[in-house]
Amino acid sequence: MAIEVLGTTPDARMGDVASAAGVVRRTVYGYFPTRSDLLVALARRAVSEIAAVLAEDAPVGKAADVAWADFIARLWPMTHRYRVLVVLRRGEFGEGIHALLGDVEQSLADLVERGQRSGAFGRHLPAGVLSQAAWSAVFTIADDELSRMELDVSAVILTSLLMLGVPESRAKVLAEQAGRA
Amino acid sequence: MAIEVLGTTPDARMGDVASAAGVVRRTVYGYFPTRSDLLVALARRAVSEIAAVLAEDAPVGKAADVAWADFIARLWPMTHRYRVLVVLRRGEFGEGIHALLGDVEQSLADLVERGQRSGAFGRHLPAGVLSQAAWSAVFTIADDELSRMELDVSAVILTSLLMLGVPESRAKVLAEQAGRA
DNA sequence: GGCGCATTGCACACCGGTGTGCAACCATGA
DNA sequence: TCATGGTTGCACACCGGTGTGCAATGCGCC
């Protein structure tokens, strides 16, 4: 589908998207009158998927560090779909995308802040920045071609937990546990 | 200068670069016959600057974690110049840039691996991936508009050290120390 | 068969950015 | 004063990608 292509390379041409969808350029315009529309639709979809996962994995009662671990575990296999978001933040759409991402980023920041208050996460960076850094680190790792394949989920989770200031011993347990599920 | 503009927005038009340099579009073509040439020249320069810093801050004898901290401390104030590299890795130039970045990334990976062998860094990820993740995290943080201003260098250093698996207590000391210099 | 609907193929206008050619225009300095 | 060399301001060709119009072609379904 379209999301597969634009997910990995959001600057793909309409023609590429089309042929990836097994269809002709002209046809795409039937569904999305404009390239922008396509991108926005895609972003909107990605955002809502992510928000769903986040809501499900990080309910209010759950410990913040556990919630984070679970969230990353679910996020990991889908990173290639969501790359759109990361790339799109910079660039023409900056404003519009930021608006869409707004509440996801907010939820993430809230989660981190909760963790900071409970002492589970460190306070070396303000919650907003820290959450941002930790979650895009996951995408960075995913980008590394070498990693993609042979890499264990729990290693990725572990890395992000470490960034968040979770002590190594606990981080290891959480990562192991969330990675297994 | 040109690097200031393209550093932050590598997809800037020739006109923008020109006016940023206080000159007219036509003039730029006098120096760089092609947009590509400009980008490559810029990238080359950024790479060599970075390589220099790295070589200076991470001599063979130095402890890997100290070296890393010092390196990030020096890198931080220049992140906006080097953004070119990060952005350029994906996109048209992928191959060419990768070649340029090759030895820097290698040095970084070597440093991390040295740290892993000495036990200073964790082994949760292969050295190549880990170094990549840790150093682009710095750029990610730098991108966050909020952060840019009020953010303390040592906080950034600390974060990257944590990613690398340095225990919190030691990471704090190193970050504090490197951040002060 | 005949209707409807989505898809296709092609042609074309349009747009923005790149790169070039050329003449005019200052400077600086001999 | 004149020459030189970098800069400027157009004008223009070119290119690739977007978006549209329209006729032709399927293909399923009644």
- Indicate if the pLDDT at residue B139 is higher than 80: yes
Give the bases of strand D that a protein CB approaches within 7 Å.
Answer: 6-11, 16-22
A125 is written with which tokens?
Answer: 């960076």
Q: pLDDT of B54-63, one tens digit each? A: 999 999 889 9
- Calculate how close chain A gets to B62, using CA atoms only, in Å: 24
Q: Which of A11, A95, A80 minimizes the C-alpha distance to A46?
A: A80
Q: How many CB atoms lie within 10 A of CB B181?
A: 9
> Which chain B residues have any C-beta within 8 angstroms of a chain A C-beta?
11, 87, 90-91, 122, 124-126, 128-130, 132-133, 136-137, 140-141, 143-144, 146-147, 151, 155-156, 158-159, 162-163, 165, 167-168
Closest B-chain CA to A86 = B140
Q: For the residues of B47-81, what is the DSSP string, one character each?
A: HHHHHHHHHHH--TTS-HHHHHHHHHHHHGGGHHH
Residues with Cβ < 8 Å from A154, sequence gap 6 or more? A175, A176, A178, A179, A180
- Nearest Cα to Cα of residue A68 among A163, A167, A160: A160
Q: Exposed (0-12), middle (13-18) or buried (19+): which is B35, by Cβ within 10 Å?
A: middle
Per-residue pLDDT tens digits for A7-16: 667 788 999 9
Q: What is the mean pLDDT of residues A18-35?
A: 93
A38-75 burial, b for 16+ CB within 10 Å, e for fewer? bbbebbeebbeebeebbeebbeeeeebbbbbbbbbbbb
Q: How much is the mean pLDDT over chain A? A: 88
Q: Which pLDDT value is given to residue B95?
A: 67
Mean pLDDT over B132-150 rounds to 82
Q: Name the pLDDT band for A26 (thresholds 50, 70, 90).
A: very high
Q: Is the CB of B36 under 7 A from strand C?
A: yes
- pLDDT category, B3, cuts 50, 70, 90? low
Q: Which of A124, A132, A143 sits opposite B155 (nearest CB)?
A: A124
The answer to whether the CB of A138 falls within 8 A of the CB of A76 is yes
- Taking phi over 0 as left and psi of -120 to 50 as alpha, with beta for the rest, A24 belongs to beta
pLDDT for B36-72, tens place per residue?
999 888 888 888 999 999 999 999 889 999 999 999 9
Q: Do B163 and A137 touch (CB under 8 A)?
A: yes
Does the pLDDT value for residue B112 go beyond 70? yes
- Answer whether residue A5 shows pLDDT above 80: no
Angstrom distance (rounded) from CA B102 to CA B90: 14
In this prediction, residues B97-124 reach a mean pLDDT of 92
Whether B91 has a pLDDT exceeding 70, the answer reads: no
Of the partner residues A125, A144, A147, the one whose CB lies closest to the CB of residue B159? A125
- What phi and psi, each to the nearest 5 degrees, are found at residue B15? -60, -45
- Model pLDDT, residue B160: 97
Which residues, by CB, come closer than 7 Å to strand D? Answer: A 13-15, 26, 29, 33-36; B 22-24, 26-27, 30
CA distance B165 to chain A (A): 7
Say whether pTM exceeds 0.85.
yes
What is the distance, to the nearest Å, from the Cα of residue B3 to the centroid of all Cα atoms in its chain? 14
Instruction: Give the pLDDT band of residue A150 (cuts 50, 70, 90).
Output: confident
Question: Is the separation of the CB atoms in A160 and B137 below 8 Å?
Answer: no
Strand C atom within 7 Å of A91 CB: no
